[in-house]
Structure formats: C-alpha cells, structure tokens
Amino acid sequence: MSIRLLKDIDSLQRWRAEGRGAQIVLVPTMGALHEGHCELIRMAREHGDRVLVSIFVNPLQFNVATDLENYPRRLDGDLKAAARAGADAVFAPTVESLYPPGDESRVNVGPLADPLCGQNRPGHFEGVCTIVVKLFMLSGCAAAVFGEKDFQQLAIVRRVVEDLHLPLEIIAHPTVRDPDGLAMSSRNLRLSEEARKEALSIPRALRAAEAAWDEGERQRQRLEAIFRERLSSALNLDYGELRLPSSLARSGEVLTGDQLFAVAAEIDGVRLIDNLLLRDPSSRR
Ligand code: AMP
C-alpha cells in the first residue's frame, strides 16, 4: 500500500495534474487519526476516483492556546492509518503555507455559527470555514466527507458551500463510537482512565433522553433534565440542549418533528462534544 505525502501546495498541484481530471474526494482532518476518520476515508472511496486526506491543525479555529499546543500530532501513524483505510494521498502543509504573511481574508458564517459551540468559542467557525474553503479550492475536490459528530460544523459547511456556490458535494458520515458508546475523538487520547469513565456518562445520558423520547416524552425541559440527571458531575457542562436540526434554533417547550440533542462538556481540560438526532416517527412518511 503506497500513499503519497504532499507537504506543500506545489506538490498538491502536481498530484492533481497527474490525476488528469479524476474526481477527488477530500476528507479534511486535524490528524491523530482514529477509526472514525478511517470510516470517513472508506466512505470517500465509494464517492470518487482518488481520496485525499488533509491533516492540518488549523490555528485559526482554536481560541485557547493550550488546546492548540496540546492537540495530538503524529503524522507517521496517520500516514499508515490513512493508507490502510484506502487514501491515495495525505496533504499535510505547514501553517505558513496556508496562512502566508499578509493573509487576512476570512469566511464569515451567518447565524448557524452563533449558538452551541459558537457561544463559547468565538471565531471558531470562521476559522473552520476559512480553512475548509481553502482546502476545497486547493484540492479541486468534487466531494468532501464530514462527520455528524460535529453536527454544527457539518450544517455550517453545507451552508457555506451552498451560499458561495462551491462546485462540490458534501457527504455526511454518522458518528463512529467506541464499543462502550463514547464518540471517537482525537482528544480522547488526552483523557485519563478515570476521566474517560466519567466521559462515558455523555452517551449514556443521551441514550436516556432518547429512551424517554421513544416512549413519547415531548416536553423539552423534561428531556433536558433527564440528560442532566444522568451526566456525571465530574464533567463541566457547556451545553446539553435540544435544537432544531435544520436551523439549530432552540426547540420549543413542546417538541414537534425531529430534534437534535447537542452536548459539549469538559473534563480535565479536554473538551468533548457529542449529539444524537431524535427522530419523530410522525414526521416520517
Ligand atoms: P477532526 O480531525 O476531529 O477535525 O475531524 C475530522 C473529520 O472527522 C470531521 O468531519 C469530523 O466530524 C470527523 N469525525 C471525527 N470524529 C468522528 C467520529 N467519531 N465519527 C464520525 N466522524 C468523526
């Protein structure tokens, strides 16, 4: 299994030229690849001729310096994982090449970026959108795969692609979980054994809310209370609330139609996010 490592924009352009119009599917990541990323890469394989994985820890989307410094980086292992999952090339540029001196244009997002992760992470989604638009343009990809674990990010990227008339398709992959239910994340590497146990209360609390939903509970406050009761007090909850999946607006008191239960919590300085889509059987055909 051979995989090409493209360390700068020139190498990426040469790799594109070699492809002579073959359709590229991009999987943008920040590296420290886990099985979740690998699933995205496998899905990408099914949607085009050549799979390109980008690995770039984007400083623009971090608003806490220590989070950026502590973000796991391990390119050698990533290359092997990407190759095994079926990627053709990895684009791992330097910060200076994507943000050269004088770079100042930013992609601003609308109201979708305001709630949830936008609240306590000012500028985060502007950073995300700026880097993904650069990556879309540089790679010339026909499609890009994103995970539903970052539900708000996925919704925002879809919005940007539509609003800016970018000629590519956005493909969503469901959240990939460890067997015990914890959503896979590169940040999980930084969890102590003890913290990981506490973090497991996130998927459990989401499942408890889902079980109540399945039994017909439609009071927003009741479902959010069920979630909070199950969540370990060792976690600092940023948000754990019901939102409308299309607009991310706050759900009403009495819930109608599909709902998104979105969560962000921190433990030991590690920020974890997760979500569950609660489907309303009466809104299905
Ligand atoms: P990251 O490297 O964390 O920025 O993630 C890169 C891409 O992988 C994003 O589209 C994420 O939504 C996706 N991703 C990360 N973890 C998971 C997961 N557990 N399940 C599905 N997609 C994921």
Per-residue pLDDT of the chain (285 residues; tens, 9 = 90+): 689 999 999 999 999 999 999 999 999 999 999 999 999 999 999 999 999 999 999 999 998 999 999 999 999 999 999 999 999 999 999 999 999 999 999 999 999 999 999 999 999 999 999 999 999 999 999 999 999 999 999 999 999 999 999 999 999 999 999 999 999 999 999 999 999 999 999 999 999 999 999 999 999 999 999 999 999 999 999 999 999 999 999 999 999 999 999 999 999 999 999 999 999 998 765
Among residues 37, 124, 165, 173, the one annotated as catalytic is: 37
Is residue 170 within 8 A of residue 161, CB to CB? The reply is yes
**What is the signed CA dihedral for 179, 185, 186, 187, rounded to 10 degrees?**
-110
Cα of 97 from ligand 1 centre, angstroms: 24
* Binding-site residues, ligand 1, Cβ < 6 A: 29-30, 36-37, 40, 146-147, 149-150, 173, 175-176, 183-186
Strand 270-278 vs strand 259-267: parallel, antiparallel, or unpaired?
A: antiparallel
| Entry pTM | 0.97
Q: Determine the atom of ligand 1 nearest the C-alpha atom of 31.
A: 2
Cα of 18 from ligand 1 centre, angstroms: 29
Cα separation, 34 vs 184, in Å, equals 7
